[in-house]
Amino acid sequence: MQILDVPIPEDCYPQQNADYAGDGVVWGLGHKKASAAECCAACKEHQAKHRDDRPCNVWVWCGDPSGICWTMDIHNHTTGDCWLKHQEKWDNNPDRSKSNLEVNHQGKFSAEFRAVHKTAPELVPWVAGIVPVRKVQRRLLGTV
């Protein structure tokens, strides 16, 4: 898979070296995207189609040029994997410093962590972002 180096839209709120928590609404294994921007776009599309049923509000993409993105589960995550997730209790605040967003890992793995998890890389190999759920105002028929 060719990985595209394209800008990620600001409204995707991307964070390099991050892996956010959430329930998978589209399983990432085999759901390949060529860029983080494409992964975010897939999250937005899912959200538009599933507003009332666990819409995507978190995306996580593997863009590591090594071909593999390490994580603590038993699966083999490969470049291009795009996870679409939903965090039920997230407060929808895109300002991560003031948000209750659940983060699995971000930045560098600590030396203590890497001593226990021998295959973990120095940096979290994922790119993650959020797509706040847009509130849709519905007008009732017959009202102004």
Q: What are the pLDDT digits (tens) for 39-90?
A: 999 999 999 999 888 999 999 999 988 889 999 888 889 999 999 999 999 9
Q: Is residue 18 part of a domain?
A: yes
Q: Is residue 21 part of a domain?
A: yes
Q: Is residue 144 part of a domain?
A: no
pLDDT at residue number 136: 55
Q: Is residue 60 part of a domain?
A: yes
How far apart are the C-alpha atoms of 81 and 61, rounded to whole Å? Answer: 6
How far apart are the C-alpha atoms of 58 and 19, rounded to whole Å? Answer: 10
pLDDT at residue number 93: 96
How far apart are the C-alpha atoms of 73 and 96, rounded to whole Å? Answer: 25
pLDDT exceeds 60 at position 139: no
Q: Is residue 76 part of a domain?
A: yes
Q: Is residue 29 part of a domain?
A: yes
pLDDT tens digits for range 98-133: 999 999 999 999 999 999 999 999 999 999 999 999
pLDDT exceeds 90 at position 5: no
What is the residue range of 23's domain?
Answer: 10-130
pLDDT at residue number 137: 47
pLDDT at residue number 2: 60
Q: Is residue 1 part of a domain?
A: no
Number of domains in the chain: 1
Strands 23-26 and 103-106: unpaired
